[in-house]
A and B are shown apart, each in its own frame.
Chain A
């Protein structure tokens, strides 16, 4: 009986909620911005926390395949550029965690969700970076796909997210150019270097296309996100746009894409591509990709090995604060 009353009570929105919902609907209809202190539907908040933290986790896990090559970069200039890039990714992670915190979920909770396997990150980072050319392919294709996904997010209805994306997109496009440059240099280099570049493009092409998520017919969250002005274009629209872009750029690189089905469809105005292996996508997403276990183990190890350092920093800060109080 008691539960029933509670359920009835919850079902009736308070006057405050009604006013909040009206304001929220008006903001969305006007295509302007929701800010942290504004009322928002619980589902909107949850969707954002899920998407933004997933993005932050992707930045953090995404550091690993590239950090893998910092110690082996083949020239000092490339080593410096790669270090700066991985550093940027840590910065993006921090920025996005902070933006997510404005929705009321602290960073350590988000981090724990990642470590417990409750939160996802982009499945592309579960593929290995076996060669130096992968630094090029990751920059050109993976960061390229990320940009195609993220540029529309600069206009996302949630203010802190949109603003974070503006800065992140600027740095990402820099990274994409650097990746392109690595591949170009390799393509114009020795036969072995060119082979290395082509091999990297062959391996990263399909996983990069899958970064846009399942096809529109198989993407349950997309509709609501579009209604809330978080998402602006469908997965397939973005993927098509990306294919159109890279099929042009690959010619400049003097390389090829491993897909003979790419064509522009005059009727739909969309770029078409070969069938993607969605079974593989779901397998990787479910944790059975080549590097899922390795990536998580490394993150867990860094977190656990750093525990005593974080505890020391907290203890020191406490002592300082106490001394300041006494004084």
Chain B
């Protein structure tokens, strides 16, 4: 029946990880392909949240401790929803997936795995990723998969704020002092080789026509958005070729191993424990 939603929740309403979990508990069917796609979305959000979490208590201003924590919290929420949904295909929980997968089983992109660097680099990574995610979720709300659409609908409102936050800081740093301009530009140079991977189509996306968003379709609006920000900030578009990455996201940067070692250490010391 058309219009009948597997989630019973209209996109746009608050859709929490617990709602997805309740859905999964009722035995919602998730195909391997959809699960694999949800892993990509969830892992990007999770790894970036893990990175941003480091800033809390170290930010340049108290207001930024609050803001970066807020963004990290939103991303953890997205990750929990996507991972819970993905886990339904394999009988695994969000925590099984977050804490008990090895490095090669993650589907995060090189960009979110990049270290925080200074505030300039963190903002550069935020700008690029939130602009990408904004285009992605804006289209995912129309996915034929009602759960993905509902998660995206909730996340989009939050990512709208993330993108604005990164944009405002890019303007301040780009058009602030000589030093801030230099650092912001250096941050962009540092993350730019990993931008291209976000926009690569692969077979999975091809098989999920109507369910997944084709990353390549997001590049033009992404470029247009960034061009506007850079022009206002007085920054140049980095002229740097993309690094060799992996469109199917099986390969990772060296950084991911360290990040996971820290993130998973306690959970893995206590197999089978609940927290």
> Residues of A with Cβ closer than 8 Å to B?
60, 63-64, 67, 70-80, 83-84, 86-87, 90-91, 93-94, 97, 132, 182, 185-186, 189-190, 192-193, 298, 301-302, 305-316, 319
| Chain B residues, Cβ within 8 Å of A87 | 56, 65-66, 69-70, 73
- Residue of A at shortest CB range from B74? A80
Please state if A71 and B176 are interface contacts (CB–CB under 8 Å). no
Asked if B230 is at the interface (CB within 8 A of a chain A CB), the reply is no
Of the residues A79, A190, A309, A314, contact of B53 by C-beta under 8 Å: A79
Q: Which residues of A contact B179 (CB under 8 A)?
A: 308, 311-312
Number of residues of chain B lying within 8 A (CB) of chain A:
51
Contact A193/B270 with A80-B73, A83-B73, A316-B175 known, Cβ cut-off 8 Å? yes
Question: Are B62 and A312 in contact, CB atoms less than 8 angstroms apart?
Answer: no
Indicate if the CB atoms of B266 and A132 lie closer than 8 Å: yes
Contact A308:B95 (CB < 8 A) given known A70-B53, A72-B262, A94-B66: no
Q: Is the interface of B mostly helix, strand, loop or mixed?
A: helix
Smallest CB separation, A126 vs chain B (Å): 15
Contact B56 A70 (CB under 8 A): yes
Asked if B128 CB lies within 8 Å of chain A CBs, one says no
Asked if residues B262 and A93 are in contact (CB atoms below 8 Å), the reply is no
What's the minimum C-beta distance from A18 to chain B, rounded to whole angstroms? 40
Q: In the complex the two chains form, is B80's CB within 8 Å of A190's CB? A: no
Does chain A have a CB within 8 A of B225?
no
B118 interfacial contact with A, CB 8 Å:
yes
A93 to B95 alpha-carbon distance, docked (Å): 32
Contact (Cβ within 8 A) A71 B69:
no
Give every chain A residue within 8 A of B270 (Cβ-Cβ): 74, 190, 192-193
Q: Which of A86, A193, A307 contacts B273 (CB 8 A)?
A: A193
A-contact bits for B63-79, CB 8 A (1 contact / 0 none):
11110011011001101
Min C-beta distance of A187 to chain B, whole Å: 12
Q: Across the two chains, which residue of chain A brings its CB closest to B265?
A: A72
Q: Which residue of A lies closest to B118 (CB)?
A: A305
Separation of A306 and B72 alpha carbons in the complex (Å): 19
Q: Is the interface of A mostly helix, strand, loop or mixed?
A: helix
Beta-carbon contact of B60 and A316 below 8 Å: no
Residues of A within 8 A of B272 (CB): 190
Query: Is B135 part of the binding interface, using a Cβ–Cβ cutoff of 8 Å?
Result: no
**B177 A308 Cβ-Cβ under 8 A:** yes
List 20 interface pairs A-B (beta carbons < 8 Å), by A numbering.
Answer: A67-B56, A70-B54, A73-B266, A74-B99, A74-B266, A74-B270, A77-B80, A83-B69, A87-B73, A132-B275, A186-B275, A189-B274, A193-B270, A308-B179, A309-B61, A310-B60, A311-B177, A311-B179, A315-B177, A315-B180
Q: Are B57 and A64 in contact (CB under 8 A)?
A: yes
B171 at interface (Cβ–Cβ under 8 A)?
Answer: yes
Binary contact readout B240-272 vs A (1 if CB under 8 angstroms, 0 otherwise): 000000000000000000000011011100101
Task: Report the bound CA distance from A310 to B179 in whole Å.
Answer: 12
Complex Cα spacing A94 to B62, Å: 7
A208 vs chain B, min Cβ distance (A): 21
B50 within 8 A of A: yes
**Chain B residues whose CB sits within 8 angstroms of the CB of A190 once the complex forms:** 270, 272-273
Q: Which of A86, A93, A312 contacts B69 (CB under 8 A)? A: A86
Whether the Cβ atoms of B275 and A90 lie closer than 8 Å is no
Q: Are B176 and A84 in contact (CB under 8 A)?
A: no
Pairwise interchain contact B60-A302, C-beta atoms closer than 8 A:
yes
